[in-house]
Amino acid sequence: MADETISLDDIQIFSRVVHLRLGHRIAELRRIGRVQDVLRAAGNLAEALTSYSARASSDCTGQGGTAELDAEATRLFASFAICAESLRSAATEYRTRVLDGTARLESANEHGAAQSEAPVAITQPQSLGI
């Protein structure tokens, strides 16, 4: 996993890809497949986050062991990385097509305030130091 970084722009582009419709049948089937891949990765991430949260909640009260939480942390990190790579890759593939069309990317929330567009990076620590 070379790059586990995604930006707000990547997410916004992907949102436009979800609604994009392509006239060529093969291109449209590819787009649908890419969207489904990202959604599957997001579902796996949601499951990993739920599982990690449940284990951490149990462990913080002394009801579990560190090995199980460490395994959940590893699974959570892998899920983040796979989801980020899948989303970033799809956004990169369709960015030009989306930006050349009528889709516009807004950088303000519903109150008109600028949103942070700093990339979100998932990095693996060298050591947990525990």
Instruction: Please state the rounded mean pLDDT for residues 22-31.
Output: 93
pLDDT at position 127: 45
State what percent of residues in the chain have pLDDT above 70.
73
CB-based burial, 50-78: b 16+ in 10 Å, e otherwise = ebbeebeeeeeeeebeeeebeebbebbbb
Residue 93: pLDDT over 60: yes
At residue 40, does pLDDT exceed 90? Answer: yes
Residue 2 pLDDT exceeds 80: no
Give the DSSP H or E segment for 51: helix 25-59
User: 64: which residues sit within 8 A by CB, 6+ positions away?
Assistant: 55, 58
Specify the pTM. 0.74
Instruction: Map out the domains of the chain as residue ranges.
Output: 5-106
Closest CA to 31 of 80, 84, 98, 114: 98
Kind of pairing, strands 120-121 and 5-6? Answer: antiparallel
Averaged pLDDT for residues 20-33: 93
Give, for 6, the enclosing helix (H) or strand (E): strand 5-6
pLDDT digits (tens, 9 = 90+) for 43-71: 999 999 999 999 999 888 887 667 889 99
